[in-house]
Amino acid sequence: MYLDEQYAMYRMAYQFVSRDEYDVLYVNEQGNEIWLEKNAGKNSKVLRLINQGFDWKNHLKKDIAVVFQKVKAMKKFLRAKHIQIHNIYISEYAPVDSWEFLKQPMKLNEKQPITMKLYYLSNSHYEEEKQRLEKEIGISSLDVDFSNEETVKEERVASYKQFLRQRVLDDKKHTEGMFSFGKPRLTYIILLLCVSLFLMLETNGGSENIQTLIQFGAKFNPAIMEDGEWWRLVSSMFLHIGWLHLVMNMIAVYYLGTLVERIYGSLRFLIIYFLAGIGGGIASFAFSANIAAGASGALFGLFGALLFFGLHHRRIFFQTIGTNVIMLIGINIVFGFSIPAIDNGAHLGGLVAGFIASGIVHLPKQKEWGKQIGAVLVYLALAFGIIQYGVANNMSSPMYYIMQIDELVKEENYEQVITEANDALRNSEGDEKWRAAILFNRAYAYIKLNQQDLAIKDLKQSIQLDRNFPEAHYNLALIYYQQGNMEEAEELIEKAYQLDPNNDDFINMYEQITGEKVK
């Protein structure tokens, strides 16, 4: 009877869910098809129970093919390496022709194959197929008592239906609850702070002015190392260089920040944001000598927080935001390595730091104190190790010395310029363009200290190392002109003008030395 088959299907489904901890994926409107799933690491068991019979094996084969395609489409949600389908048909009669060969394991050959086992629980083979199902799935006996009165069966079917559908509703509410734990208050404060500081930069010299950025707290390695200004790792998180940089980052802060703050709550979000930003700043300090500012490290940390969420709630993650998050991370990383000006150290450092910071605070209502303490130790160990590497890397970086020398020139501390340049030259063997720049700066200090002969020597050497260095040609031409060596001065200023014909200083000196007017 149809009622017995329906009762058997719902009774089994009820036991799979309540006793064997399967999740309910789907119950169709007609009430004759139920999908369940149980994930264990890289393996996923998908049970499809259907109260439907087939007269012919070809009809059954077509249904099997449809099930394979449905599970293939579900793979991104299941996110398991190995998916095994247990396709369970419950019907009064089996197909009339030879169909038993379909009970052999089947496989959909792909990079990550999907396997299927079929069970056909008809009246004539019910017990035999049920026992095979129990054995293959690895569960205790499925208890289905057909001796009950029809009214009892009907009541129980209705009860099981309600139970399964309530599970679906509960899962939906649970998922929605995960994305509404907190309210995004701090995200808006961060947005306001970043915009306010940007406007302050714009009204005090400009957000693209190097000196203004340094003054207001951008990441500047010489100040960090020489003056111990490690607070720049935090202050630089809230400064931005140019309108495009600000707008792009603020859009990302709005979307990522509100999402992460809703998932983790405000306090956890704040800790993740700061630890990620600091981690990104440390990585930037270690791997890039350039002046840097921006929320990018913290933003990538929010990506890390979403990955941590996905690690603990894989199915929900890939059913909702997972694919887009992974795609955005990939695009940003590829984009970062394609454009030299982008600080990849801050991005990748922030991503890793954000993931670890999420492990420190963990998800709401989930505590794993051992792992959380371990995450704290990992964060501190990585930070310490990368800082040590960064100090050594900066000390051997010509770029670091150039930045430090530039600051000393602005301070008119020319004796110290010469000292730092000497150190830099000892540590920059083989880097011809960097050596040329260092020699140029030392020559400038010699000029200011009235040591013309030493300045000429450095400028000549600088030009030998980099023949396309217009400023070196210009400064040497200026010295020769002051000494009355007009032939050498004319040759050098002509070269400087050829290399940079739009420089007003070069044009004026060219006209003065050669007597020719520039058209």
Tokens read off for 417: 């310029």
Q: Alpha-carbon torsion 84, 89, 95, 98, what sign?
A: positive
CA-CA-CA-CA dihedral for 24, 26, 29, 34, to nearest 10: -70
Q: Which is the catalytic residue, given 296, 358, 428, 462?
A: 296
E strands, 22-167, are 23-27, 33-40, 43-50, 82-90, 106-108, 114-121
Side chain identity at residue 427, one-letter code: N
Q: Which is the catalytic residue, given 245, 313, 347, 362?
A: 347
Catalytic, 235? Answer no
DSSP-assigned states of every residue in 312-330: HSHHHHHHHTHHHHHHHHH
Tell me the helices (H) and strands (E) count for the chain, helix number first.
23, 6
Are 89 and 119 in contact by the 8 Å Cβ rule? The answer is yes
Q: What are the angstrom distances between the C-alpha of 373 and each of 45, 263, 376, 379, 504?
A: 34, 21, 5, 10, 61
Are 58 and 18 in contact by the 8 Å Cβ rule? The answer is no
Are 357 and 280 in contact by the 8 Å Cβ rule? The answer is no
> Which residues pair with residue 27 across a beta bridge?
34
Tokens read off for 445: 């200090």
**Contacts for 63 with CB less than 8 Å, ≥ 6 apart:** 54
> Which residues pair with residue 292 across a beta bridge?
219
DSSP-assigned states of every residue in 92-141: SS--SS--GGGGS-EEE-SSS-EEEEEEEE-GGGHHHHHHHHHHHHT---
What does the chain come to in residues? Answer: 519
Tokens read off for 235: 């202050």
Are 307 and 355 in contact by the 8 Å Cβ rule? The answer is yes
Catalytic, 296? Answer yes
Q: Which residues are known to be catalytic? A: 296, 347
